[in-house]
Amino acid sequence: MTDTYTTNFNITKPQAGKNNWDVDYAALCDLIDSRLALRFRNLIVNGAFDIWQRGTSFAAIAAGLYSADRFEMYRSAFALGATLSRQSSSGIVRSEYVARLQRDSGNSTTDALCLSSALKSSNSRHLAGQSVTLSLKLRKGANYSGGDVSFKIVNGTGTDEGLGGVNFTGHNELATGLAATTTDFQIFQVSGTVPSSATQLGIILSYTPTGTAGADDWIEIAEMQLEEGSVATAFEYRDDGLELWFCQSYYEKSYNRDTSPGTVTNLGKESVAAHSLTGYFRHSSQFKTRKRVVPTVTTYSTGTGLAGKLWVANTLDVAPSLEDIGETGFSFYHNRTWDPSDFIWWHWTADAEL
């Protein structure tokens, strides 16, 4: 049997019948330091594509669109006719899901399909002047019409900017890789040095289709990792609850994890009873995770799914007035004539994305 620890970390075992505790202790310390150094090295949040709080399938719109948590999809010139969707990995890769970027069947526009993720500046500045490496797994569909898939590490000089079809301030492509994909997953990587003036990093993946799309004109992306250093290491599988917590500092909802906002459901709803026959009622909601900045809050009626509404007495949508929105929660109120039996039900989302 292979001795993994001694093979991977060059630990010299004592000769039979001898104990060399100084050597063993030093080697053990090196082993522990090496293992700890490998923790939290992936700078991309949700690089395994396991968290999809907004839904599991997204059609391209005339703007960048957040889809899988922390990722924006779009087409160049903001063309339509493309979809990003969650797909089961079927055990082909170790993560539970992969992301499929697909030109819609029958679509003939040849604008590039793109997927991007921007790091916030506080997670980027320490990398100025350092080497970084982007690695990922890719495969193509049977009707894939594009050439090599482009994957880039980019940087800018602004603060907390998005990458959904727009460039950073001081935009610079510090490294570009080209992937000749097959129908099997392969690992690709590219490395570069971050300019000393950089204050923000991001990644952009794209492919340019040709002709008219068939049913399987797509690429699937898995296990994307951006890390410090000039060599890609094995993908970091973080605890699912921890990764969700990272995602919720950018976006959170009251719905169950796999329920899309706007779904008509009572599961996980918030509610309050009317306190008087006339006048205002007020309510405060607390987030599970502190947001990175003050978020945009949207309420949803549990009865109709309409945004900006509350569901009253199981019959009526009303619009609340939001107030006191902060990083940890928000309040709202509404004024009307109430019935003593009135209950008010709602869901909410809090969006603090870049």
Looking at residue 243, its pLDDT comes to: 98
Of the ranges 68-82, 208-222, 296-310, 329-343, which one carries the lowest mean pLDDT score? 329-343
* CB within 8 Å of 60: residues ≥ 6 apart: 73, 74, 75, 78, 79, 80, 81, 82, 83, 84, 113
Looking at residue 298, its pLDDT comes to: 98
pLDDT at 136 over 50: yes
**Rg of the chain over CA atoms, in angstroms?**
24
DSSP code for 14: P
Residue in this structure with the two tokens 């003939």, named with its chain if needed? 108
Domain with CATH 2.60.120.260 in the chain: 57-248
Burial class (CB in 10 A: 0-12, 13-18, 19+), 168: buried
Confidence band of 52 (pLDDT split at 50, 70, 90): very high
> Which tokens is 38 given?
């490998």
pLDDT at 4 over 50: no
Task: Give the residue-averaged pLDDT of 243-265.
Answer: 98
In whole angstroms, what is the distance from residue 133 CA to residue 226 CA?
6
Residue in this structure with the two tokens 């001898």, named with its chain if needed? 18
From residue 233, give the alpha-carbon distance in Å to each of 112, 151, 161, 229: 29, 17, 28, 9
Looking at residue 1, its pLDDT comes to: 38
Give the distance from CA 295 to its chain's centroid: 17
> Which tokens is 278 given?
């006339």
pLDDT at 252 over 90: yes
Looking at residue 276, its pLDDT comes to: 64
In whole angstroms, what is the distance from residue 43 CA to residue 32 CA?
21
Closest CA to 208 of 73, 100, 66, 75: 75
pLDDT at 5 over 50: no
Q: Give the total residue count for the chain.
A: 354
CB 210 within 8 A of CB 109: no
Confidence band of 125 (pLDDT split at 50, 70, 90): very high
CB atoms within 10 A of CB 8: 11
Looking at residue 37, its pLDDT comes to: 56
pLDDT tens-digit readout, 283-298: 999 999 999 999 999 9
Looking at residue 20, its pLDDT comes to: 57
pLDDT at 134 over 80: yes
Residue in this structure with the two tokens 């040849």, named with its chain if needed? 110
Q: What percent of the chain has pLDDT over 90?
A: 81
Looking at residue 23, its pLDDT comes to: 56
pLDDT tens-digit readout, 22-33: 555 566 555 555
Region for 134 from its dihedrals, namely left if φ exceeds 0, alpha if ψ lies in -120 to 50, beta otherwise: beta
Q: Which of 6-20, 262-276, 309-323 has the highest mean pLDDT?
A: 309-323
Looking at residue 9, its pLDDT comes to: 46
Q: Three-class SS of residue 201?
A: strand
- The CATH superfamily holding the domain 57-248 is Galactose-binding domain-like (2.60.120.260)
